[in-house]
């Protein structure tokens, strides 16, 4: 493998723009990567910071990361663990499997040009060179994903098919970015190692969430190469061809990528109160998502599974995504994020209701949210399972294990 690059230019699609402009330069110095805004960018009338307060536009010279080796808003635009596997496959074939073998600048430069959010990275700063030359089919993407999962080197054709979509869309499961006419989609594939119908499970959760009134990304279920595929409509693209900047909750909370200390929803609420549009509705939506995660067994609600749009001044909560029932053998379970200001994070709605005041909700408000979701999940379950063509065996396996597990409702009534 070649050596790690020492720099990368950051290109950004500004709000309302359909073409990118160069914003600045990333440079490695030892174990950290600094960012410096370009003078021409700072002089633009429509320039915005890539994210405040992390990379303030007013600061001249190098800006060093506050938490990790690179600024969080830059890290958010890098490939996720699956995307890193794809890039590693391209660079090393089957000779390496540890994604730590490559550095952050390599992953940023070799990630897909159609990556999530409004940033891209190139070796040059004088001219933006589009890297996507084709729009692969779902079957081509599925074939590529299967080869990477099995540690089989990609051919040049399959390499291009999958790499253009190796972007930070969250998680370690096989996925790719897909174009269908004017639609921008994320295709999530079933894995050969799946012991449960995970793709169908995510479809069921996302559809039930929509029916409860949560703001969620649109999803549909299809298949390729005989495997289930979930198509998730992207919300970071505009009809005019622009791109919307996204900031993960991990970055908003200024948490490091790897830490044993769980993040708190309560800390996110503090930011919502001061920096989000429509704080009241956002707090209620966030609390409703927490309740839904508990009721449907989505214990993987980590800070990367929440995000906000960034317009240079305010944050706005994105639609929910990655709502997936997690494997569960018994009753007791915990959430990744704590709902209150203490360390309690059991997967139980009763405790969440007790902490509803953090979201400026009364107990009555909180109970209305819980009861409404219970009614919808119970009444719509059979119809949504029919849409997913879920077998009776898997329905029985999910019900009252992931979905409405008795532990989730313990002490509620």
Condensed to tens digits (0 to 9), the pLDDT of residues 28-52 reads 998 999 999 999 999 999 999 999 9
Beta strands in 149-189 (DSSP E): 175-180, 183-189
What are the structure tokens assigned to 88, written together?
């590693």
* Tokens read off for 109: 């430069």
- Rounded average pLDDT over 226-246: 94
H or E element that contains 12: strand 7-12
Q: What angle do CA 259, 264, 266 make, to 5 degrees?
A: 160
Does 2 have pLDDT greater than 60? no
Given this model, what pLDDT does residue 382 score? 98
How many CB atoms lie under 10 A from the CB of residue 51? 20
Highest mean pLDDT: which range of 20-29, 97-106, 185-194 = 20-29
DSSP letter for each residue of 263-297: PBHHHHHHHHHHHBSSHHHHHHHHHHHHHHHHHTT
Instruction: Give start and end residues of each alpha helix (H) in 44-187.
Output: 72-76, 81-92, 104-110, 138-149, 156-163
**Per-residue confidence at 90, pLDDT binned at 50, 70, 90?**
confident
pLDDT value at 164 more than 50: yes
The pLDDT score that the predictor gives to residue 259 is 78
331-338: average pLDDT: 94
223 or 148, greater pLDDT? 223
DSSP state of 363: H
Mean pLDDT of 162-191: 74
Checking if the pLDDT of 17 tops 90, the result is: yes
Would you state the pLDDT for residue 168? 52
pLDDT tens digit sequence for 267-296: 999 999 999 999 999 999 999 999 999 999
In tens, the pLDDT along 364-390 reads 999 999 999 999 999 999 999 999 999
Q: What is the pLDDT of residue 1?
A: 46
Consecutive H or E run containing 208:
helix 198-212
Q: Which of 89-103, 136-150, 205-219, 256-270 has the lowest mean pLDDT?
A: 89-103
Indicate the pLDDT class of residue 99, thresholds 50, 70 and 90: low
pTM of the model: 0.93
Q: How confident is the model over 159-179, as a mean pLDDT?
A: 65
Helix (H, G, I), strand (E, B) or coil at 28: strand
How many CA within 13 A on the CB side of residue 318? 26
- Percent of the chain whose pLDDT exceeds 90: 70
- Report, in angstroms and rounded to the nearest whole number, the Rg of the chain calculated over CA atoms: 21
Residue 95: predicted pLDDT: 46
Nearest to 228 by CA among 275, 252, 196, 250: 196
């Amino acid at each position: 493998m070649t050596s790690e690059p020492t720099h990368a230019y950051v290109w950004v699609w500004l709000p309302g723009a359909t073409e990118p402009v160069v914003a600045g330069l990333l440079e490695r110095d030892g174990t950290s990567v600094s960012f410096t805004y370009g003078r021409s960018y700072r002089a633009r009338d429509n320039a915005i910071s890539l994210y405040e307060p992390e990379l303030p536009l007013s600061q001249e010279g190098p800006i060093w990361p506050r938490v990790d080796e690179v600024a969080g808003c830059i890290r958010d635009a890098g490939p996720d663990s699956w995307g890193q596997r794809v890039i590693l496959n391209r660079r090393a074939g089957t000779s390496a499997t540890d994604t730590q073998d490559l550095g952050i600048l390599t992953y940023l430069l070799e990630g897909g040009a159609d990556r999530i959010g409004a940033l891209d990275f190139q070796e040059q700063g004088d001219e933006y060179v589009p890297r996507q030359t084709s729009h692969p089919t779902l079957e081509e993407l599925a074939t590529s994903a299967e080869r990477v999962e099995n540690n089989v080197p990609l051919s040049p054709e399959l390499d291009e098919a999958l790499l253009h979509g190796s972007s930070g869309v969250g998680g370690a499961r096989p996925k790719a970015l897909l174009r269908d006419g004017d639609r921008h989609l994320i295709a999530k594939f079933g894995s050969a190692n799946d012991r449960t119908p995970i793709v169908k499970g995510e479809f069921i959760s996302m559809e039930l969430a929509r029916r409860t009134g949560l703001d969620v990304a649109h999803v549909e279920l299809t298949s390729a190469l005989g495997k289930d595929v979930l198509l998730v409509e992207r919300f970071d693209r505009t009809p005019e061809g622009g791109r919307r900047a996204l900031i993960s909750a991990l970055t908003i909370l200024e948490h490091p990528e790897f830490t044993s200390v769980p993040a708190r929803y309560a800390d996110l609420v503090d930011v919502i109160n001061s920096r989000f549009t429509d704080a009241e509705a956002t707090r209620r939506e966030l609390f409703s998502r927490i309740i839904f995660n508990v009721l449907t067994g989505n214990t993987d609600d980590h800070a990367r599974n929440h995000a906000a749009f960034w317009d240079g001044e305010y944050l706005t909560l994105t639609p929910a995504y990655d709502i997936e029932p997690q494997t569960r053998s018994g009753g007791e379970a915990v959430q990744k994020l704590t709902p209150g200001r203490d360390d309690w994070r059991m997967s139980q709605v009763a405790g969440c209701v007790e902490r509803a005041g953090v979201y400026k909700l009364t107990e009555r408000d909180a109970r209305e949210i819980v009861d409404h979701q219970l009614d919808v999940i119970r009444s719509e379950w059979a119809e949504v399972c029919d849409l997913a063509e879920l077998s009776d065996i898997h329905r029985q396996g999910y019900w009252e294990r992931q979905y409405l597990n008795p532990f989730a409702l313990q002490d509620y009534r």
